[in-house]
Structure 1
Amino acid sequence: MKNWHLITYTGALLGLLLSSSAMAADLYHNFTGYTFSGKPGAEAQFSSFSVLVVEDGKVVAKGDKDLKQDYPEATLHNLYGRTLLPGLIDSHGHIQTLGENLMQVDLRGINNRTATVAKVANYADSHHELEWVIGRGWNQEIWPTREYPNRQDLDDVISDRPVWLTRVDAHAGWANSKALQLAGITADTEDPDGGQIIRDADGEPTGILIDAAMQLVQDIMPAITDEQRAEAVKLAQDHILQLGITHVLDAGVSAKGLENFRQMHAEGTLNLRVNAMISGSDPALTELLAEGVYRSEDDILRIGNVKLYGDGALGSRGARLIEPYTDDEENLGLLITPEEQVAKLFREVHEAGFQISYHAIGDYPNRLALDEFEKITANDDELTDLSAFRHRIEHAQIVQVKDIPRFKTLGIIPSMQPTHATSDMNMAEDRVGNERIAGAYAWRSFLDQGSIIAAGSDFPVELTNPFYGLHAAVTRQDRNNDPVEGWYPDQAMTFAEALRSFTLDAAYAAFMDDSIGTLEEGKWADFIVLDKDPMKLESKDLWRIKVLSTYIAGERVHHSPK
């Protein structure tokens, strides 16, 4: 009899525990969900489901409607026929810079110089309290003349205060005369290494500074305060979460920026998962590497990657090419980090056990990086490829066709941004010609050889919305459906490949695929609810998808009912 009571008591206790577990669960139903599972890359399995069970922030089960009966006490959440995806990952963005841009004059998309200047003037008139007038987003390539502006354009409307306007790609700046004066830039100022001061026929600075030359002005601008930095990050975080991005690899974070992320995490105000790449130009790099890779228990913050700087951008002709620009035959572009320093930095970062993320737009730094990665394998008799280290080349934008297979051979991940292709298609072939364009924005070439692409936006260079990236990846068109057949459509991705590059493959490229990137049992319940089913949409409409809700670890961090 005692044994019977013991069995009964034990069974009751087990039932109570199971019931408590079920009561603690959240069960989402009445939706169409899609996720990957298994290994990253082409071996990943794609499946659909209509019920998701979440407990303690993690996925405990998913399946069809029959799964509901296994969780009779769970809290039900009816999603009313919406679509559910894993939270999207941006593999290359700039969080603080995005936040700063949200606090400045936005010049993106303005298609002529006159309107650009007018918007700056109106902004200045509305902000008399500002010591400097700062903005970003101008792009002379979408203006009728496609010519750089000059300081006089700004002097005509603002001469009493310094003005500094960063080009959309952040690789060129436009200053008025007051800003040049404060920076001490004259006809006698020499071009710094890795930079160029654009000059007129008389040798006078025009106000356009390329790459490292931008620092001449930026060094004398008021430094951002800790309070402004925190405000910028919070503004950016809210913006990012609204768009369905749950994890960002922040490409180039200063020691101060890392400190801010740590503080926000400790305070519980960092709601977005951040994988911070240490800026390779930070004076504290060696000390930061000595601290080792950091990953918080809740996977909100990871620091294990270093952003190294290769060259400039294609639009400002700062990207470094092996042969001169097709539309500027005396120009090879610029290397931001001297070649001899690149080798030293690669060794230092690799030996410290951190990922290398090397910015390479032009074919020269892409080849340079591959050569340096090859030296790492050559110096280790047991190392045939670097797959285990998941080193990356950021952008991999203009690559010699014969260099593309080396990414796979060496185990290097191309971290690419689909909207770069559709933003650059109006000038890219002018810059590099019809032979080099064969290795440009070459997503299909990388995928067909088995490379894993980590996709992102490079916000705020491009707009943050990941559905713009998914659309560009699949269609090779802009959001006006141009060109009709797509720009070099043979390099397009399928939708499944594109989605994988923003989820599972992006997580793999961030050393986070064990906990995010898919909605598999045991992983964090990071997911988004959409107003449209991408599997049922025409490809041309993918960019129109809206995010209704965003969840991180089962907690709703954004909700828009419309």
Structure 2
Amino acid sequence: MAVKKLLLLCLCLVSHWSQAQFTVIHNVNGYTPNRAGEIIQFSTLVIKDGKVVKTGDKDTIKQYPQSTTIDGKGLTMLPGLIDAHGHVIGLGDNLSRLNLRNAKSVSEVGAQLKNYAKENPSGWIIGRGWDQTKWTPSHFPTAADLDKYVADRPVVLTRVDGHAIWVNSQAMKLANISQHTQSPDGGEILRLANTQPSGVFIDKAEQLILQKIPKPSNAQLNKALDKASAHLLSLGITSVHDAGIDKATWQLYKTRSQQHTMPLRIYAMLSASDPHLEEMLKAGIVKEQTDYLTIRSVKIYADGALGSRGAALLKDYKDRPGHKGLMLENQPALESLIRLSVKHGFSAHTHAIGDRANRIVLDSYQNVFKDTGGKLLRNRIEHAQIVDVTDIARFKQLKIIPSMQPVHATSDMHMAQKRLRESQLEGAYAWQTFLKQGIKVAAGSDFPVELANPFDGLYAAVTRMDKSLHPKGGWRTAERLSKQQALQAFTLDAAYAAFQEFKLGSLEHGKWADFILIDRDYFEVNNEQLFNIQVEQTWIAGKLKYKRH
């Protein structure tokens, strides 16, 4: 009899202990996509060991009487949002450097530069965010424009898209730039009427200056990672696809992963332009058990950006006759990099913005798949902004995922109308056309080129308007996404683009409990209000990572 009682007591204790491992979050207005393409609604989420056990209704809590319970207070719950294209260390740097995003003229840049120089009295001055297309007049600035404000220290200001830099005379002097310096292949040194360098360096010409800037220390890299991650978590982003990391960042991520101190999930792409690429490839795929760090792809650059007229076009720019943009790599070089990636089992993710670049990249993938394979590696084209309509179907045929940034359409629309003809715009920012072909679209922001807030991206995807609600009704509205399609692109389809659809992207049984609580109902709020949504809490693997004060 005593043995029976002891056994019963043990069973009760085991039952109590196992129940106590469950966390039940109830009283939420929950939505999740599922792999069947539906949106599931729920009011209760059950978590154990950082993973989703189930979603259910208000009665589900009764099945877990000994669990830890949390009242969601009626807030809307969504899966953690995934940004499929950003630059983490770049964002972290930006948060502590000179930010020129809101400057509307050269004189406004100058005023900000002067103040920043006073507050940071030594060393190189590094900044980012200028965009000459938003100024009047909208032509490129010069070194002399900066010399008026800071002449005794080197100044390097990166254009908002990262594809051009504007420097002062001191920076050119330290880099030994002269009238006789030649533009490298895949780059352009803009020149004054007297053929002297103007102070603006486009695409591969940037390296003539950037190579002279002192490399960041390990402490600075750690600080940038932590700063960027805190910002991203506050915006509801639980996972980022980091588009092009160098060897120093590769080492940083691996160290932080081994220390279990990665602040959010990162799927990192090795930068094809890093001289240590082969060394990193030979070290093999990184995929650790908690899915905080995955490294299994290579970021390749095919062309430049539209704003600096570096995007490679099939026909001339409408506003610069005789100019078709810049290919940063020719087709044999692209094929060589793709082949090198797939031979090591890494996916190839290639930056292509213009229609000529997209076509050459598609041709390159096709040729590599024929002789080397790699078609099933979920290779991607990053941006795929301007694609000739005849090439869109090839993405499906070649199993290429377009990784696209909805905010680019609303940021670029006025400039794109000036740069491109109507025929060139037919396949531009064509999200809905891709989806109708049965092609998954992975959505991101390209931070710090754009602001990192994913609700800006969801708003742009659904409305194709800027935040001033222009143009009324949206720009090229046939390409708008529904709210469900937009959410899927920032969750499950972004996860798919990283081989993570069975781990992330939705709140389904067995997946990591990555979710956010927001202050209004994503599906019920007016489309025009989507960018006003505020994140109240962000959770990764069932642990609270951010709470709004």
Shorter-chain TM-score range: over 0.9
1:158 is aligned to: 150
1:392 is aligned to: 380
Is residue 63 from structure 1 mapped to residue 51 from structure 2 by the alignment? no
Matching residue's letter, 2:407: T
In 1: Cα distance, 2:488 partner to 2:14 partner: 37
Of 291, 294, 297, the residue aligned with 2:289 is 297
**1:89 maps to what in 2?**
82
Residue of structure 1 in register with 2:23 after alignment: 26
1:408 maps to 2:396: yes
- In 2, Cα distance between the equivalents of 1:203 and 1:76? 71
- Of 100, 103, 108, the match for 1:107: 100
Q: Which amino acid aligns with 1:313?
A: A
**How does the TM-score come out when normalised to structure 2?**
0.98
Cα distance per residue 1:340-368 (max 9 Å; x no partner): 21111111111211111000011112111
Partner of 1:424: 412
User: Using the alignment, how far apart are the partners of 1:349 and 1:302 within structure 2?
Assistant: 15
Corresponding residue for 1:283? Answer: 275
Deviation at 1:474, TM superposition (A): 0.3
| Shift, 1:250, TM fit | 0.4
Equivalent position of 2:530 in the other structure = 542
Instruction: Evaluate the alpha carbon distance shift between residue 370 and residue 14 of structure 1 in structure 2; reply closer, same or farther with a 3 A threshold.
Output: farther
Specify the alignment match of 2:503 in structure 1: 515
Question: Hey, what does 1:438 align to over in structure 2?
Answer: 426
Q: Deviations over 1:195-234 (max 9, x none)?
A: 1110011101111110111111111111111111111111
Distance 1:55 1:494 in 2: 33
Q: Identify the range of structure 1 (288-297 vs 442-451) with the bigger mean alpha-carbon deviation.
A: 288-297
Distance, in Å, in 1 between the alignment partners of 2:302 and 2:503 is 31
DSSP 3-state at the match of 1:389: coil
C-alpha distance in 2 between matches for 1:60 and 1:359: 38
Equivalent position of 2:461 in the other structure: 473
Contact 2:335–2:368 (CA<8 Å) still a contact in 1?
no
Cα distance in 2, alignment partners of residues 110 and 158 from structure 1: 17
Match of 1:272 among 256, 264, 284: 264
Separation of aligned partners in 1, 2:475 and 2:6 = 70
Residue of structure 2 equivalent to 1:463: 451
| 1:23 alignment partner AA | A
Q: Give the Å deviation of 1:12.
A: 5.0
Contact 2:80 2:515 in 1 (8 A): yes
Distance in 2, matches of 1:263 and 1:292, equals 15
The residue correspondences of 1:77-476 to structure 2 (distance < 5 A) are: 77-128=70-121, 130-379=122-371, 386=375, 388-476=376-464
Q: 2:39 aligns with which of 43, 46, 64?
A: 46
Letter matched to residue 18 of structure 1? S
Q: SS at the partner of 1:80?
A: coil
Q: 2:452 and 2:291 mapped to 1: Cα distance?
A: 22
Deviation at 1:11, TM superposition (A): 5.6
| Equivalent residue in structure 2 for 1:16, among 7, 13, 27 | 13
Who is 2:32 aligned against? 35
Q: Which moved more, 1:265-274 or 1:171-180?
A: 265-274
Structure 1: runs of 5+ lacking an equivalent: none
After TM superposition, the structure 1 stretch with the greater mean CA deviation from structure 2, 55-64 or 329-338, is 329-338
- Please give the per-residue CA displacement for 1:421-446, whole angstroms capped at 9, x wherever unaligned: 00000111221211110011000110
Give CA-to-partner distance per residue, 1:239-268, whole Å, 9 cap, x none. Answer: 111110000010001111011011122223
Q: Deviations over 1:474-493 (max 9, x none)?
A: 00011111111101011010
Once the 2 structures are TM-superposed, how far is the Cα of residue 144 of structure 1 from its aligned partner?
Answer: 1.7
Paired with 1:11 and 1:277, the residues of 2 have a C-alpha distance of 54
Query: What is the rounded CA distance, in whole Å, between the counterparts of 1:62 and 1:441 in structure 2?
Result: 35
Distance, in Å, in 2 between the alignment partners of 1:406 and 1:45 is 27
Q: Return the offset for 1:14.
A: 4.0
- Out of 474, 487, 492, the position equivalent to 2:480 is 492
Amino acid at match of 1:75: T
Instruction: Give the secondary structure class of the aligned counterpart of 2:15.
Output: helix
Q: CA deviation at 1:378?
A: 2.7
Counterpart-to-counterpart distance in 1, 2:475 and 2:167 = 34
Q: Which amino acid aligns with 1:88?
A: L
What SS does structure 1 have at the residue aligned with 2:66? coil
Letter in 2 for 1:165: L
CA distance in 2 between partners of 1:411 and 1:199 (Å) = 42
RMSD: 1.4
Identity, % of aligned pairs?
45
**2:29 alignment partner, SS class:** strand
Show CA shifts across 1:444-499 (max 9, x none).
11011110000000000000000000000000011111111101011010010000
SS of 1:365's equivalent in the other structure is helix
CA distance in structure 2 between the partners assigned to 1:98 and 1:432 by the alignment: 30
Contact kept? 2:335, 2:367, Cα under 8 Å: no
How many Å separate the matches in 2 of 1:11 and 1:540?
Answer: 60
Deviation per CA, 1:491-514, whole angstroms, max 9, x where unpaired? Answer: 010010000000000000011111
Amino acid at match of 2:378: R
Q: Distance in 2 between matches of 1:356 and 1:13?
A: 54
Specify the code of the residue in structure 2 equivalent to 1:64: D
d(CA) in 1 for partners of 2:533 and 2:117?
35
Question: CA offset at residue 283 of structure 1?
Answer: 1.6
